[in-house]
Amino acid sequence: MPKVAPPSPSGPELTGRLRGVAASFAAAEDACGGSSSDWYEIAGGLVRLRFASPALRERLTPAFSHLAVHPDTTPAEQALTVNLWDSASTGVDPPPRPPVPEEYAAGALFHFSEPPLRAAYQPGLESLSIFDSEAGVAWHWVSDAFDQSYWEAASPIRQILSWWLDLRGYLQVHGGSVGTPDGGVLLVGKGGSGKSTVALSSLGSTLLYAGDDYVAVRVEPSPRIESLYSSGKLEPADVHGRFHHLLPLLTNGDRLETEKAVLYAHDHFPSQTTRGFPLRAVLVPRVRPNQRESRIVDVSRAAAFAALGPSTIIQLHTAGATAFSTMSSLVQRVSCYGLEVGTDVGAIPGTIAEFLSRREPPSDG
């Protein structure tokens, strides 16, 4: 978990740095002969990723492929433009960044929030994100496109999307989600609880796949899940064991000694990826190694909140003050259950599908 560092620049200081950030992006455009744009519909809003770095585009866009749209054919409004570049492949100088005190480790995170500007800098990752909510513009710089961690490539620009989603009435949460067009479940729990096992067991089944690690949720006017990434991550031992059929689909099959296994569901199961669906229930998985069948069991709302809240706050790092209240409202609004995850992974989707077939939509209000 990154340590949040206390120093933060004043508004005028950050505004000055912002001019330097924009200049660095413009220099990258000049170095690469311009920029290219990819368009996506995320949570009902049109997001433009504007790359001045072909290398970074290659690295980050696979995670969003299931959300791609043509800007002339979608009714969604243009809500956000994100300018993305790196220094290594473009040859440009890095943008201005906060000085890093020696007493802070490489895991520090510098966070600034003074509306309409928000910023996060992680010196250990050499990653800078800035969001101007008033202009609907963001910047994302990294030192080296191909030196980014596998988890950053699998779930890009999380900080920027989190800030932007918050303005749209959505909260980015740490959880997976699968379901049907009529509704799905939110899978919540800390690492190792079985979220990924349940989510990735759906690939090749009748269920839709909305995400493995991060999704967006809203409570009003009715609970809903929105997909953010088509990526999925598994422990290498699980891939070599229960998910060996996914081995040929991995993007990093040659690096499993040091990385989690990563695959992009839309590349191999395009008919199963989804933009989102109504939320019918929260499920708290728990692995049962001595139990073959998976089954739905009762669990308290307090237990569901405990599985969702802390892990989301830890993962987001810069979550706003309303995040806990939103999650509390969510678990009060929808039904919450436990999911005992048995050893027969292939039967898990059927258990969830049968459960969903009996679920009624939550009432409004």
CA–CA gap between residue 56 and residue 32 (Å, rounded): 12
Q: In terms of pLDDT, which residue wins out, 99 or 226?
A: 226
Average pLDDT on 103-112 reads 76
Q: State whether 146 and 212 are in the same domain.
A: no
Percent of the chain residues topping a pLDDT of 90: 78
Going 166 to 99 to 18 to 29, the CA torsion angle's sign is negative
Look at residue 202 in the predicted model and tell me its pLDDT.
97
Q: State whether 67 and 155 are in the same domain.
A: yes
pLDDT tens for 305-329 read 999 998 898 887 777 778 999 999 9
Q: What is the pTM of this model?
A: 0.92
Q: Which residue has the tokens 């000049």?
A: 30
Q: State whether 86 and 191 are in the same domain.
A: no
Locate 312 and state its tokens.
């989301």
Judge contact between 336 and 281, C-beta under 8 A.
yes
Look at residue 105 in the predicted model and tell me its pLDDT.
59
CA–CA gap between residue 158 and residue 312 (Å, rounded): 12
Q: State whether 300 and 194 are in the same domain.
A: yes
Spell out the alpha helix ranges (H) of the chain.
11-32, 54-60, 150-154, 158-167, 195-201, 236-240, 265-268, 301-316, 323-333, 348-357
pLDDT at 269 exceeding the cut of 50: yes
Cis status, amide bond into 116, omega within 30 of 0? yes
| Final residue belonging to a domain, choices 141, 167, 193 | 167
Look at residue 15 in the predicted model and tell me its pLDDT.
67
pLDDT band at 215 (very low <50, low <70, confident <90, very high): very high
Q: State whether 143 and 179 are in the same domain.
A: no
CA–CA gap between residue 133 and residue 123 (Å, rounded): 24
pLDDT at 74 exceeding the cut of 70: no
CA–CA gap between residue 318 and residue 228 (Å, rounded): 18
Short-list 134, 165, 129, 171, CA closest to 148: 129
Look at residue 12 in the predicted model and tell me its pLDDT.
59
Tell me what the pLDDT averaged over the chain comes to: 90
Look at residue 5 in the predicted model and tell me its pLDDT.
43
Q: Quick check: is 363 in a domain? A: no
Q: Quick check: is 21 in a domain? A: yes
CA–CA gap between residue 89 and residue 143 (Å, rounded): 9
Look at residue 10 in the predicted model and tell me its pLDDT.
52
As for how many domains the chain has, the answer is 2
Locate 236 and state its tokens.
């290498």
pLDDT tens for 38-57 read 999 999 999 999 999 999 99
Q: Quick check: is 85 in a domain? A: yes
| Final residue belonging to a domain, choices 167, 191, 214 | 167
Average pLDDT on 9-24 reads 75
Judge contact between 348 and 198, C-beta under 8 A.
yes
User: Which range marks the domain in which residue 230 is found?
Assistant: 171-357
pLDDT tens for 25-40 read 999 999 999 999 999 9
pLDDT at 280 exceeding the cut of 70: yes
Question: Phi/psi of residue 338, each to 5°?
Answer: -95, 155
pLDDT band at 107 (very low <50, low <70, confident <90, very high): confident
Q: Quick check: is 10 in a domain? A: yes
pLDDT at 21 exceeding the cut of 90: yes
Locate 261 and state its tokens.
């296994």
pLDDT at 158 exceeding the cut of 50: yes
pLDDT at 11 exceeding the cut of 50: yes
* CATH classification of the domain holding 334: 3.40.50
pLDDT band at 6 (very low <50, low <70, confident <90, very high): very low
Q: State whether 226 and 274 are in the same domain.
A: yes
pLDDT at 262 exceeding the cut of 70: yes
Q: State whether 239 and 267 are in the same domain.
A: yes
